[in-house]
Structures are given as structure tokens and as C-alpha cells.
Structure 1
Amino acid sequence: MSVLVEFAMFPTDKGESVSAYVSRIIKMIDKSEVPYKLTPMGTVFETETMEEALDIINKAYKQLEKDCNRVYSVVKFDIRKGKSNRLVQKIQSVEKKLGKQVSK
């Protein structure tokens, strides 16, 4: 099974620049060894189970709860049985249809 998750999470009580807080979350994801991609508007990662995905989201919140009074988050899931490596394959599929060289 493949659970693709796109999410953004950041404090709303720490001013305009929150990259120091977001970087805590990215460090945690990096240590978890799940495949992920950081984007300008959020992060996409892939796990094999919903439990793993929810665990990452919970751990992300734990990175902020200790010193943030208000946290904003938006989370999207794409769950598909019988597939894996969709973090890469979905992009390759679109690029192939566009006639572009497929990224790796």
C-alpha cells in the first residue's frame, strides 16, 4: 500500500518568518527515513501504512507544541493499495505524457 501525504504545519504566533520552526519538522522527517519532498508550500511524504503516516503528522506537531501556542496545519492523503514509490512514479507518469525526459 502507498499512503501519499501532502501537508503544511507551522505556528501562527511566531511572526512572519517561521522557517526555523518548519525546519524542526523537516529534520524529524529526515531522521524517520521516509521518502519526502519539501516544496515552497509544504511537504509531501510517502509511507506504507496509514498508521505510519499519522505517526509522522503527530511527531510533526510534537516538534511545535512545546513552544508554540497556535499551530496551523492542512493535510491531504492519497491512499492506494497495491502500489509503492508513488512519490516518484506519479511525476514520471505526467512527464512522460508531456514528452519530457523523466526525472529520477
Structure 2
Amino acid sequence: MSVLLNFAMFPTDKGASVSAYVGKVIEMIRESGVAYRLNPMGTTIETQNMTEALDIVNKAYAILEPHSDRIYSTINIDAREGGVGRLEGKIESVERKIGKVNK
């Protein structure tokens, strides 16, 4: 199974810049060993099952919770039977198709 989970999570009571807090979450994701891609509006991770994906979300919350009275989160999930590798594969597929359309 491949689970793509895109999420944004950050404290809302720390001013306009929360990158220091987001950085702590990204560090945890990097150390977890799961594939991930940081983007301007969140982070996408790819895991082999839903439990592992939601564990990352729970760990992210545990990192932020001691530092904030209010934490904002959004989560999108795409779970599919089959192997992992969709984090890069989905983007490459679209880029190939764009190349065909533009030629």
C-alpha cells in the first residue's frame, strides 16, 4: 500500500513567521526515514500504511503542543493499493504529459 498524506500544521499564536516551529516538525519527519517533500503550503509524506502516516501527524502535534495554545492543521490523504514511489511518480507522470501536450 502507498499512503500519500499532505499536511500543514503550525501554531497560530506565534506571529507571522512560524518557520522555526515548522522546522522542528520537518526535522522529525527527516529523522523518521519516510519519504517527504516540503512545499510552500505544507509537507507531503509517503508511507506504506495509514498507521505510519497518522503516527507522523501525531508526532508533529506532540512537537508543537507544548509551545502553543492553538495549533492549525489541514490533512489530505490518498491511500492506494500497490507499491510506494508515488511521491515522485505522480509528479513525473504529469510532467511527461505536459511535455507531450506542449510539443
What's the TM-score bracket when you normalise by the shorter of the two chains?
Answer: over 0.9
What is the aligned partner in structure 1 of residue 68 from structure 2?
68
Post-superposition Cα deviations, 1:20-69, rounded to whole Å, max 9, x if no partner, equal 10001000000001010101110001000000000000000011011111
**Partners in 1 of 2:84 and 2:70 — Cα distance?**
35
**Partners in 2 of 1:15 and 1:82 — Cα distance?**
42
Residue identity (%): 60
Secondary structure at the counterpart of residue 69 of structure 1: coil
Partner AA of 1:4 in structure 2: L
Partner AA of 1:33 in structure 2: G
Partner AA of 2:31 in structure 1: K
Once the two structures are TM-superposed, the CA of residue 4 in structure 1 deviates from its matched residue by 0.1
Secondary structure at the counterpart of residue 66 of structure 1: helix
Q: Where does the alignment leave 5 or more consecutive residues of structure 1 unmatched?
A: none
What is the aligned partner in structure 1 of residue 36 from structure 2?
36
What is the aligned partner in structure 1 of residue 97 from structure 2?
97
Secondary structure at the counterpart of residue 24 of structure 2: helix
**Partners in 2 of 1:13 and 1:98 — Cα distance?**
41
* TM-score relative to the length of structure 2: 0.94
What is the aligned partner in structure 2 of residue 6 from structure 1?
6
Could you say which structure has the higher helix fraction? 2
What is the aligned partner in structure 2 of residue 23 from structure 1?
23
Q: Where does the alignment leave 5 or more consecutive residues of structure 2 unmatched?
A: none
**Partners in 1 of 2:54 and 2:92 — Cα distance?**
26
The count of residues paired between Structure 1 and Structure 2 equals: 100
Instruction: State the 4+ residue runs in structure 1 displaced beyond 3 angstroms.
Output: none
